[in-house]
Structure 1
Amino acid sequence: MKIYIDENVPYGKDFFESFGEIITFSGRNVTPEQVKDADILLVRSITKVDQTLLSLNENIKFVGTATIGTDHIDLDYLTKRNIAFSSAPGCNKISVGEYVLSALLVLAESKQFELINKTVAIVGAGNTGSAVYQCLTGLGVRCKLYDPPLQASGDSREFCNFSEVLQSDIISLHVPKTMKGPFKTFHLFDETVLQQLSPQQILVNACRGEVIDNQALLKLAREHKTPTLVLDVWENEPNIEKALLPFVALATPHIAGYSLDGRVRGTEMLYQALSKHLKNEAILNSTDFMVKAKISQTDIQSPLTSELLKSLVHLIYDVRRDDALFRSKVNQINGFDQMRKNYPERRELSTLSLNFTDPTHQNSQTINLNKIGFTVKNK
């Protein structure tokens, strides 16, 4: 059995070598000729799996994507060919939540505001949006959820309307790319919507670049009429609109969900799905391969404050590192993809154990460290 795996799927060989021969490929540039003899195809979000890619392959049995999103997969085509499919829903939700938290803490410091005094509208309340909600409410931030499809499905949570989204201090986008239908998200933030936002607001996009009309955003940015921008995703990746970069406070190359923990979680979920498909026992898990975090514990000898929390979050992940790397590499040949391919190790907050020498010091009226994602211990 030949198993073709995107070279950026971590621990792919370790998880799947027992199933057959492993062949890795570049996800952005893979061709029909390359995968014509694949029995199993495992990709990430940059590979479009459709009739064109599989046109020369007559024997493929299983396609998997180690990502939450599936808009790069032609599911109807796979169904017609009776090709089994699996994704990794929720695998990187924690990573995205921590990306948003890190970014907002950076902006709170640079713009001298208290995050707890702001209202955040989370557009999209699925796995990722819910993780962002948990992370921010753990800090005591007031959050609103906007998700018409989930609301229509009978989800019991409280949802706001779109006008409330546009009036919020911070707007964080976490929706799939949907090109048509009553819940279309393509250019959800078009010029008309963007014109209703002000420079006093913050707009975060860590889902799909096409949710924001980048050309309309650039036009308004040149007129100094946009919110403070945090963009992890862009239209036409990797050939993004570089003219936008000077107007973006924090810019990164689609790596919000790129923690090592989240990416390996995606690999493990595909391993479990393929094992089930092949009727094999799934005997491996991520702990068999993951190394201990470089910073795994720290002693806390003072009361918990918002300033201490910011230091702890940025001890594990400071988005300014990725912003600086991106700006230095974006003009290099294949700079966008090269940074993703060679992304520096990043761990999640749960890999850091906080040891409070005085248990009363971890008490706070607003901050819930466990909810944010830390592992808390008392000496």
Structure 2
Amino acid sequence: MTTSKPLVIVTRKLPDPVETRMMELFNTRLNMSDEPFSRERLQSAMQEAEILVPTVTDKLDAALIEGAGPNLKLIASFGTGVDHIDVPAAKKKGIIVTNTPGVLTEDTADMTMALILAVSRRLVEGEKLVRSGKWEGWGPTVMLGHRIHGKRLGIIGMGRIGQAVAKRARGFGLSIHYHNRRRLHPEIEAELEATYWDNLDQMLSRMDIISVNCPRTPATFHLLNQRRLALLQPHAIMVNTSRGEVVDEDALVQALANRDFAGAGLDVFEHEPEVDPRLLKQQNVVLLPHMGSATIEGRIDMGEKVIVNVKTFVDGHRPPDRVLELDF
């Protein structure tokens, strides 16, 4: 790196405090319109920049990375997941990839619980009923949902977010169960009062609520496929605040339409921002626009992590949030 300020190109509009600090520290080019970069614009930015700050909406595949200019040495992603970046291709090209882990844990866990409550207690349907002007007052059988206290919650992916969900769920009186590629340390298990299931199929068939909190990796693509969705009990609900690709959306639509299980809460979609039109017609699903991490505090924390990663790299040190291939 040269002693002059490096050229940092940011692909989306970030919170003002983050952009201001980046302008102070680096030769920063911002995206004031917040219009997502086209593939051609991404390629141009990667040929010119020394540091690229993309988001989850930027798909940096092997071809784009291979076409990057010789000055691009760091991709400091604004986000926790890196499934939008071909990390092995970046490593081959000599480009370091960083992300912003840990800062969205509490926000995403909050949204997971919100979806569990929204689906179980039919909150969206109730709100629509009031707005429609058709509500005729309280009645013994009006808008009946299901109690979550005393139910079994099965968490798929017991990392930071999964554990934060478990802590909240215990406060609601839920029994905690989980499936993870690695079993938690016994002390953490005991603290969460969590039951480990090595066999995902066995857990799915016994839970009242399923929460998807695992990352999107080749191993988790369509982890909940048609066969596994069929294992859910008729009264069960499923919420996903992770990545849309973890659930086979076509199979999910069919299962919801057939009432194979009671309902779902989705903050992510397999082909977002496109949403399957058939999902929009289902009354037993709550749909949100990927807003699980959308808090002012969380976004600023993400930006500060990006700045730390970039500044550390510019100063000639190892960025603290470097993504390694073994993370996959």
TM-score range, shorter chain: 0.7 to 0.9
Write out per-residue CA displacement over residues 37-66 of structure 1, whole angstroms, 9 at most, x where no aligned residue: 111111211112233334142211211112
Q: Does 1:228 align with 2:263?
A: yes
Distance 1:141 1:224, change over 3 A: closer
1:36 aligns to what SS in structure 2?
helix
Distance 1:167 1:28, change over 3 A: farther
1:143 aligns to what SS in structure 2?
strand
Alpha-carbon distance in 2 for matches of 1:40, 1:252: 32
Partner of 1:19: 25
Per-residue deviation, 1:28 = 5.3
Residues 260-299 of structure 1 correspond to what in structure 2 (within 5 A)? Answer: 260-279=296-315
Alpha-carbon distance in 2 for matches of 1:76, 1:257: 27
Q: Does 1:32 align with 2:43?
A: yes
1:217 pairs, out of 252, 255, 259, with: 252
What's the TM-score once normalised by structure 1's chain length? 0.67
Per chain length, whose mean CA-contact separation is higher, i.e. which structure has more relative contact order (CA < 8 Å, sep 6+)? Answer: 2
Per-residue deviation, 1:251 = 0.2
Q: Does 1:69 align with 2:81?
A: yes
Amino acid at match of 1:146: H
Amino acid at match of 1:33: S
Of the structure 1 ranges 20-29 and 96-105, higher mean CA displacement relative to structure 2 is found in 20-29
Amino acid at match of 2:79: T
Query: How many residues were matched structurally?
Result: 274
Residues 252-263 of structure 1 correspond to what in structure 2 (within 5 A)? Answer: 252-263=288-299
Residues 1-379 of structure 1 correspond to what in structure 2 (within 5 A)? Answer: 1-11=6-16, 12-25=18-31, 26-27=35-36, 29=38, 30-54=41-65, 55-110=67-122, 111-147=144-180, 149-151=181-183, 155-156=185-186, 157=189, 158-160=195-197, 161-162=199-200, 163-179=202-218, 184-247=219-282, 248-279=284-315
Alpha-carbon distance in 2 for matches of 1:118, 1:83: 47
2:227 aligns to what SS in structure 1?
helix
Alpha-carbon distance in 2 for matches of 1:212, 1:127: 20
Amino acid at match of 2:94: N
2:10 aligns to what SS in structure 1?
strand
CA contact 2:48–2:71 (8 Å) conserved in 1: yes
1:177 aligns to what SS in structure 2?
coil
CA contact 2:279–2:285 (8 Å) conserved in 1: no
Amino acid at match of 1:198: Q
What's the TM-score once normalised by structure 2's chain length? 0.77
CA contact 1:27–1:44 (8 Å) conserved in 2: no
Per-residue deviation, 1:270 = 1.3
CA contact 2:204–2:232 (8 Å) conserved in 1: no
Partner of 1:322: none
Per-residue deviation, 1:125 = 0.6
CA contact 1:3–1:39 (8 Å) conserved in 2: yes
Amino acid at match of 1:175: C
CA contact 2:118–2:286 (8 Å) conserved in 1: no
Contiguous gaps of at least 5 residues in structure 2:
1-5, 123-143, 190-194, 318-328
Per-residue deviation, 1:98 = 0.6
Alpha-carbon distance in 2 for matches of 1:276, 1:125: 30
Amino acid at match of 1:82: G
Alpha-carbon distance in 1 for matches of 2:120, 2:264: 13
Per-residue deviation, 1:175 = 0.8
Alpha-carbon distance in 2 for matches of 1:250, 1:220: 15
Alpha-carbon distance in 1 for matches of 2:104, 2:232: 29
Distance 1:240 1:112, change over 3 A: closer
Per-residue deviation, 1:114 = 2.8
Amino acid at match of 1:261: E
Alpha-carbon distance in 2 for matches of 1:228, 1:36: 46
Contiguous gaps of at least 5 residues in structure 1:
282-379
CA contact 2:205–2:233 (8 Å) conserved in 1: no
Please give the root-mean-square deviation of Cα atoms over the aligned residues, in Å: 2.1
Amino acid at match of 1:143: I
Distance 1:133 1:101, change over 3 A: same
